[in-house]
Amino acid sequence: MIVFFATKNPHKIREVESIKPHWIELEKLPDSIPDAPEYGDTFLENALSKALFYSKQLKAPVIADDSGLVIESLKGFPGIFSSRFMEGESYKRKMEKILKMLEGEKNRSAKFICNAVFSDVERGFVISSKGEVTGNIAEGIRGSEGFGYDPIFIPRGFSETFGELKEEIKNSISHRKKAFEKLFSMLRGLI
């Protein structure tokens, strides 16, 4: 089955390419397509609105995700604002700011959350799943693997950040891995 992946982020594409089963063929969005609006106040709604938007535009099945870093002592911040926080600035700057906000804070608990959605509007069908990875915020920025906030996130059971762990290792335990693996396995039984 050919499925469009609603992202222009090459890291995400590589990550999901490594997760998807052989019976799914991922297709990139056409360059000409406008960006989907993001106006939800949960990861689920944002993932849904992207998947529905592109599925309507392309009249084809689409997968989408929305994901972010949820920091306990910051009441869930940056959460759904993970990419929009300090928009236009580099992730290095964003991470420095987060570390500053956590200065002196003992509770470093955090998790990455991903909501993945499959949508085929023509068939009136949509399904979603959620993946989480728990861990802690590091004291500094470490490593250059991955993307986004990876270099300040230490997954539980590891001493390295997602920025230090090899891509294969991160992609085998990540929130996105869990969400899409569940999504594809549900889909398998339904279509």
Kindly identify the residues of this chain, within the stretch 94-113, that bind a copy of itself according to CB under 8 A: 113
Residue 19 CB partners (closer than 8 Å, separation 6+): 171, 176, 177, 180, 181, 184
132 has which bridge partners? 113
**Whether 41 contacts 80, CB under 8 Å:** yes
To the query of whether residue 66 is one of the catalytic residues in this protein, the response is yes
Question: Is 46 near a copy of itself (CB under 8 A)?
Answer: no
Question: Is 128 near a copy of itself (CB under 8 A)?
Answer: yes
Contact pick of 13, 86, 99, 127 for a copy of itself (by CB under 8 A): 127
Question: Is 190 near a copy of itself (CB under 8 A)?
Answer: yes
Question: Is 129 near a copy of itself (CB under 8 A)?
Answer: yes
Of 125, 140, 4, 113, the C-alpha closest to 64 is 4
Number of residues counted as binding a copy of itself (CB under 8 A)? 22
Binding site for a copy of itself (CB under 8 A): 42-45, 48, 52, 56, 113, 115, 117, 121, 123-130, 186, 189-190
